[in-house]
Structure 1
Amino acid sequence: MAEAAAVHESVKAPVSVSEADGILRITLASPPANALSIGMMEALKGELDRAQSDETVRVIVLRSEGKVFCAGHDLKELTAHRSGKDRGRAFFEKTMLLCASVMQTIVRHPKPVIAEVSGVATAAGCQLVASCDLAVASETAKFATPGVNIGLFCSTPMVALSRNVSRKHAMEMLLTGEMIDAETARSFGLINRVVPQESLNQTVMDFAQVIASKSPLTLRIGKEAFYEQAEMDLAQAYEYTVRVMVENMMAQDAEEGIGAFIEKRAPEWQGR
């Protein structure tokens, strides 16, 4: 009698990764919504954390599978915990704290992060786009912070949104909950560029390759300084960035880069 074949159920990872030429592509791989469940956020943060110490990674591209970039938090997962004695409070807190940690990881990451937005980005998905250093979207992409429509104001997405667009534009999105198209998002300052869907990937890769060609040390110094000075008053910002510039000038890459410019040759970065 033949033995029954063993059945193995494969569970698809919530994110997938690929790397080439110094560019790490992290793909949200849980269509159709690519929702920020606990599993998705833990996987995303794990890949971001690993990339911090990977010297081969110069730039990170955050992208997605399917027609939705990211629909925000997994509302079904959140609702499932309302039956507990605390009506879900502990799980809600865990979810929001983890989300805040993911967003801060992107902002504080030593490598530039580019969002490649194809499809819809709503609520915490819109927050994810706003948290990235740069964002390129297809002409069909749309954005919204629609929490107000379901009785849940997008308070945490508001943090990233209000640091990237004007207050009036941020409040328009937060108070109405209405969807905006890619061109409107670009005019608001939420994204950098809008391109046809068929050229989205190539545009992002071209963008990433230009950035990846720079000194990794200089990119790290510059990104950190940008976000630090943005939270300071004018005098503090100048005091801080003067120190940063002096330390940067002492780096071997700055000496090499300036020397290469004077000598009209391509620089050879050492990352130190």
Structure 2
Amino acid sequence: MVAQNHSVEVRVDAELGTVLLNRPERRNALSRSMIYELREALFDLHQERRVRAVILTGAGEAFCAGRDLRELATATEDPQADQARWGEEVDELRELYLEMLRFPKPLVACVNGPALASGAGLVLACDIALAVESAVVGLPEARFGLVSGLVGPLLAFRIGAGAAARLMLTGEPCPAVEAMRLGIVHEVAADGQAARERSEQIGRQCALGSPEAVSLSKRLLIETIGEPMMSQLTGGAIAAAMARTTESAQEGLDAFLAGRPPEWK
């Protein structure tokens, strides 16, 4: 079975579901409509009883470049309306991450290329992650005057606050091998084909367990050691939305669109 929306493709092959981020011309950058389609895909795969595990990957050379900064930079002449929209956009992304964390079936990220900003958040919201050797994971938001308010709590939950601080504050991309050492990804494969095959193998290994037991195991992790992180996502959403209203964010986005370095005051 194959179901395709504008930018998200869903495939079902026996017990495995695959969600493909299908916007390669924009390096699979997340638009608002794409976030909605991802949430819809998760709902559909939740309802599909034969699916026992889900693989998330990207089309083209990138896994996900983060939020679509061209869409994010769009503003009107009504500052209050813009602020309300920015708050809605952050909340929509927060809801996507929460739905992934609470998804009752194993989510396996097959990181076929760069996973940046909210794209890194997609990896961190999955249960298991594999990456190709050429992949990088990074949180460059500060370089655009933004704050990784949603991805930061996910990163700290997976690898600890100290390692998360380095990635958040420097904005430096983390190569796949280093990401594996830190615990962001669990395995590194030589190329995309090997990564896809291994992610499918892991998905099928998860499918060998009782659906109830696997679901309860995920729920145990999220509702015990993950409970503080779930609350922190709310605070992170507020910080991310507030940062978007600053002059620094406007300068960072303007510089990105103009292809120049930002000039911070």
TM bracket, shorter-chain basis: 0.7 to 0.9
| Distance in 1 of aligned mates of 2:220 and 2:45 | 20
| Distance in 1 of aligned mates of 2:46 and 2:146 | 34
Mind listing any 5+ residue stretches in structure 2 that lack a counterpart?
Answer: 229-265
Determine if contact 1:147/1:154 at 8 Å carries over to the other structure. yes
Q: In structure 2, do the counterparts of structure 1 residues 231 and 214 end up closer, same or farther at CA, with 3 Å as the change threshold?
A: closer
Q: In structure 2, do the counterparts of structure 1 residues 107 and 231 end up closer, same or farther at CA, with 3 Å as the change threshold?
A: closer
Equivalent in 16, 19, 42 of residue 12 of structure 2: 19
For residues 99-248 of structure 1, what are the structure 2 equivalents within 5 Å?
Answer: 99-197=93-191, 198-231=193-226
Q: In structure 2, do the counterparts of structure 1 residues 232 and 119 end up closer, same or farther at CA, with 3 Å as the change threshold?
A: closer
Determine if contact 2:111/2:129 at 8 Å carries over to the other structure. yes
| Distance in 2 of aligned mates of 1:225 and 1:67 | 35
SS in 2 for 1:89: helix
- Give me the TM-score of the superposition, normalised by structure 2: 0.81
- Give me the TM-score of the superposition, normalised by structure 1: 0.79
Count of residue pairs the alignment pairs up:
223
Partner residue of 2:88? Answer: 94
| Distance in 1 of aligned mates of 2:195 and 2:19 | 16
Determine if contact 1:67/1:118 at 8 Å carries over to the other structure. yes
Partner residue of 2:21? Answer: 28
| Distance in 1 of aligned mates of 2:114 and 2:78 | 32
| Distance in 2 of aligned mates of 1:103 and 1:93 | 16
| Distance in 2 of aligned mates of 1:232 and 1:46 | 25
Residue type of the partner of 2:20?
A: T
Q: In structure 2, do the counterparts of structure 1 residues 206 and 120 end up closer, same or farther at CA, with 3 Å as the change threshold?
A: same
| Distance in 2 of aligned mates of 1:99 and 1:123 | 12
SS in 2 for 1:221: helix
TM-aligned CA deviation for residue 12 of structure 1 = 6.3
TM-aligned CA deviation for residue 231 of structure 1 = 4.1
| Distance in 2 of aligned mates of 1:84 and 1:153 | 23
| Distance in 2 of aligned mates of 1:232 and 1:29 | 32
Q: In structure 2, do the counterparts of structure 1 residues 49 and 214 end up closer, same or farther at CA, with 3 Å as the change threshold?
A: same
Q: In structure 2, do the counterparts of structure 1 residues 83 and 188 end up closer, same or farther at CA, with 3 Å as the change threshold?
A: farther
Residue type of the partner of 1:179?
A: P
TM-aligned CA deviation for residue 83 of structure 1 = 3.9
| Distance in 1 of aligned mates of 2:227 and 2:93 | 25
Q: In structure 2, do the counterparts of structure 1 residues 157 and 83 end up closer, same or farther at CA, with 3 Å as the change threshold?
A: farther
Determine if contact 1:22/1:59 at 8 Å carries over to the other structure. yes
Identity of aligned residues (%): 27
| Distance in 2 of aligned mates of 1:195 and 1:12 | 29
RMSD: 1.6
| Distance in 1 of aligned mates of 2:172 and 2:89 | 24
Equivalent in 46, 58, 68 of residue 40 of structure 2: 46
Q: Which has the higher contact order (CA 8 A, sep 6+)?
A: 2
Q: In structure 2, do the counterparts of structure 1 residues 175 and 23 end up closer, same or farther at CA, with 3 Å as the change threshold?
A: same
**After TM superposition, which residue ranges in structure 1, 4 or more long, deviate above 2 angstroms?**
81-87
| Distance in 2 of aligned mates of 1:29 and 1:232 | 32
Equivalent in 52, 57, 67 of residue 61 of structure 2: 67
